[in-house]
Structure 1
């Protein structure tokens, strides 16, 4: 039984704060079981046109856990998942948590070497995949395909051309076991629950090992930031394979006993209508998408909704007045979860809030020395409680040590802090590219572009866009006598990269500036800005 806040041990009571769950009891299994008892017939998960109660969700997750255990999934082993937003994603996530295993959610746009990496890192021997994505298996290396003991295909096997390599393919419907003993194992708040792959700025993507206690800390912060109660309905149109939708929508709803409605994808033209249709009171949004919504012409659904809060973007008085909703800002990253926020309904305009009660934070200069109040510095953080941040980057000990320089996690984000302890975002590390709420690896773009036979060398850079976000800029050097055009290179990359990574700006230079140690000097390119010869993909008619 979950030991919850007094005056009662029932986590469904009004005013229950998930942060009051004792640290050692912060595990999905016991909370899911408790919700199945105390809120059995209340709606929890609405997705794909169907609503699942807490009891149904618990039953589905346990049936799948039995099937995964039969397939040999052991505690702290890894299960790869390549699924769109669907109920099976949530059931698989929770099933892994019941078994003490770790799930590895994969971006559905990944192919080739970028998809190889998480399999090699984790050693995952099982994969649950949507039938529409099965072709991605054929882009994996022979080594990785041979690593897979089984692949469960959601949507069935009929009519599919199955890539060779995995030892067995099965219909997902044959994986769950409805009958049998309770599959839940003894788990620990220190267990790795999920490995999210976050894009690096100077190297390949890194697997962030998030623990049970880590995810609970993040989810409880969200509950406080938006004042979430069991009477709320949370709407997210973002992919579940990202931490944003999983840790900051689904899990908080489970903890608070609220309902979560997961859309298929973000649609600017239908956002308000979809939020109204599901009766949402709280929804997710990113800075880039908030601007897109504001720039659309007025429509009948602008205020025909029940939304009281949109998380996570900066306050904007004009936006709030037009749509009748409060914008809530906080600071969260995959490595830490939510570490800066303001408890609902408080806020200070322009500020992300103050440091989470379970964290320490300070701003430092390039020598890691604290800066005075009001001066910009890099945000560094560390937890007050054990195991509430990432265990480290999976199989990346050097990157882990570098991130924790001087016993503080360096976020790479520049902020300032006022005398009252409120933080204000200023800028981000120069080589990070952030487009529509997603961090993008310059390294991955450079590896893809560098594989073109007419590209001698290249550099992927951020170019300032609206609302503090970036567009992707690629600067390249062509091979001698090559006739390659910027548009041709962009089209070539569009076939090999996720859409968010395809450069908006492409330009060719005779050479790239280099440091004394022969590294490309990206700072000089950024400071110089776009050349007159830079090609703009959006101006050329491509979709933004």
Structure 2
């Protein structure tokens, strides 16, 4: 018997009065979060939903998210977290693909009309039977979109005996962003998720007074779910919820709530540093650990952060399919900035070529992973699963090199690699070089179709505030600092770059 909801239940038993969640002026103790999750579980069971049934959750970082997430798990059901930026047609797709029986959907705001999209998406999904609205106004019992959570929970008991689930039962289905074809659902077991939270917890330094985590990463994504919510709850920490990342607000929350652990993607760190340097924002002092993943951190950002905050960013690596943490710059070993560290406890990694043959030495090669963190497979996709997995090894699609101490460094996504005139060009390498130019604040490099070369190299640039570098000047500088086959022939200046909800730059929209 193993159920991921234990990370909440154990903490509620041991420290019922400790603050679990902070959202605005709300401070909610562990006992209350556990009680509401019990009510959600009772509600689901009363509607005929039980062990193995899928329940979707579309909600930003609000207290509703853990209430419903752990409630679904307690009922023995499977959580299907949905990206809050999905359109109604995409919501229908996810509900049908996962065979979800119910959807808990945030009512939304004028800027994010999630309720309307969710309702329309739900209407289009044949097998979905129950729609619960998570109202925007606290404790509202009515909504134009249907039955609200609070109306449904009225009179429902806050006591519930968690359904016995096996370690290999599916706990969560996480949809991969689907850069090629339709998104696929990675099936992660209770064991996958519990062990990943536990092993990650062991690696991050602990505070004597307890820890406060800033949940700026979306909880519907594997990184925020495991490293902030599940780890934070297991540690009996306080999770401070931030529905939409804003660098100024993040810094203010870090100062006010004495945040000790921050996990983010590189663009979040870049945003906070830009805010500090441009507006003279005060640097938070309680921070003891800063963790980055989701994409490689530019060396400039790593250097700047350490100089500004007085602590280094610990980089790690993982994917939805690996629960997500697979590799990390771990305590007790030297940190190597710019690397993703070494495989975490219980996990093996190696480099392979296109035919799955093992590559010895430095590489480069494609990372494959095996261990307790690897998914069961893609839900209802035997062919896709067979393509990605062999003998327990999962193929990541990421190209890396490995040094003599066993530290891995990501060169790039296999699919982002540009082939220009027969030469392999890794965009990330060029982005690193571009960001050393004083006038370049952020860079994204992509390949665009070209008649004779196959692909040409294009750079999108956000200038440093106040900088006035021109295309010819930057182009000339690139020519001096990069090999002839590598430097970007096309440069476009932008005020912003398209990003996913998790803060990754969307290369496919730039191509």
TM, length-normalised to structure 2: 0.77
Deviation, structure 1 residue 159 = 6.4
**Equivalent position of 1:517 in the other structure:** none
SS of match in other structure, 1:270: helix
Match of 2:355 among 352, 360, 367: 367
Q: Structure 1 residues 301, 396: CA separation in 2 closer, same or farther (over 3 Å shift)?
A: same
Structure 1: unaligned runs, 5 residues or longer: 1-23, 163-168, 434-461, 471-502, 514-520
SS of match in other structure, 2:377: coil
**Equivalent position of 1:317 in the other structure:** 303
CA deviation vs aligned residue, 1:62-109 (integer Å, no higher than 9, x gap)? 111111111111111011111121111111110111111011111111
Mapped partners of 1:290, 1:412: distance in 2 = 25
Structure 2: unaligned runs, 5 residues or longer: 109-113, 419-425, 435-443, 461-487, 500-504, 506-511
CA deviation vs aligned residue, 1:442-469 (integer Å, no higher than 9, x gap)? xxxxxxxxxxxxxxxxxxxx97698669
Give matches, 1:292-441, under 5 Å. Answer: 292-296=271-275, 297=277, 299=279, 301-312=281-292, 314=297, 316-336=302-322, 337-344=324-331, 346=333, 347-383=335-371, 385=372, 388-405=373-390, 407-431=392-416
CA deviation vs aligned residue, 1:39-79 (integer Å, no higher than 9, x gap)? 11111222343122221111111111111111111111011
Mapped partners of 1:243, 1:143: distance in 2 = 27
Mapped partners of 1:241, 1:158: distance in 2 = 25
Mapped partners of 1:255, 1:92: distance in 2 = 17
Deviation, structure 1 residue 322 = 1.2
Deviation, structure 1 residue 178 = 4.0
SS of match in other structure, 1:188: coil
Deviation, structure 1 residue 432 = 8.5
- Contact kept, 8 Å, 2:458 with 2:489, in 1: the verdict is no
Deviation, structure 1 residue 366 = 2.3
- Contact kept, 8 Å, 1:195 with 1:207, in 2: the verdict is yes
Mapped partners of 1:29, 1:420: distance in 2 = 37
TM, length-normalised to structure 1: 0.72
- Contact kept, 8 Å, 1:202 with 1:431, in 2: the verdict is no
Q: Structure 1 residues 413, 285: CA separation in 2 closer, same or farther (over 3 Å shift)?
A: same
The answer as to 2:235 corresponding to 1:256 is yes
Q: Structure 1 residues 361, 541: CA separation in 2 closer, same or farther (over 3 Å shift)?
A: closer
CA deviation vs aligned residue, 1:234-271 (integer Å, no higher than 9, x gap)? 11212211112111101001212222112121112232
**Equivalent position of 1:290 in the other structure:** 269
- Contact kept, 8 Å, 1:378 with 1:410, in 2: the verdict is yes
- Contact kept, 8 Å, 2:247 with 2:272, in 1: the verdict is yes
- Contact kept, 8 Å, 1:287 with 1:467, in 2: the verdict is no
**Equivalent position of 1:437 in the other structure:** none
Deviation, structure 1 residue 403 = 0.4
Deviation, structure 1 residue 323 = 2.1
**Equivalent position of 1:119 in the other structure:** 95
CA deviation vs aligned residue, 1:305-363 (integer Å, no higher than 9, x gap)? 31122111547233211122321111111101211113325423332111122111101
Q: Structure 1 residues 348, 540: CA separation in 2 closer, same or farther (over 3 Å shift)?
A: closer
- Contact kept, 8 Å, 1:224 with 1:343, in 2: the verdict is no
Q: Structure 1 residues 140, 465: CA separation in 2 closer, same or farther (over 3 Å shift)?
A: farther
**Equivalent position of 1:209 in the other structure:** 187
Mapped partners of 1:219, 1:349: distance in 2 = 23
- Contact kept, 8 Å, 2:132 with 2:147, in 1: the verdict is yes
- Contact kept, 8 Å, 2:317 with 2:327, in 1: the verdict is yes
Mapped partners of 1:326, 1:182: distance in 2 = 43
Q: Structure 1 residues 284, 275: CA separation in 2 closer, same or farther (over 3 Å shift)?
A: same
**Equivalent position of 1:93 in the other structure:** 69
SS of match in other structure, 1:215: helix
**Equivalent position of 2:81 in the other structure:** 105
Match of 1:140 among 110, 121, 124: 121
Deviation, structure 1 residue 134 = 2.1
Mapped partners of 2:218, 2:106: distance in 1 = 14
- Contact kept, 8 Å, 1:412 with 1:429, in 2: the verdict is yes
**Equivalent position of 2:454 in the other structure:** 524
Q: Structure 1 residues 505, 351: CA separation in 2 closer, same or farther (over 3 Å shift)?
A: closer
The answer as to 2:110 corresponding to 1:154 is no
Query: How many pairs does the alignment contain?
Result: 438
CA deviation vs aligned residue, 1:390-430 (integer Å, no higher than 9, x gap)? 11111211111100146421111111112221112222112
Deviation, structure 1 residue 186 = 1.3
- Contact kept, 8 Å, 2:141 with 2:148, in 1: the verdict is yes
Q: Could you say what the CA RMSD is over the residues aligned between the two structures, in angstroms?
A: 3.5
- Contact kept, 8 Å, 2:416 with 2:446, in 1: the verdict is no
- Contact kept, 8 Å, 2:95 with 2:122, in 1: the verdict is no
**Equivalent position of 1:172 in the other structure:** 149
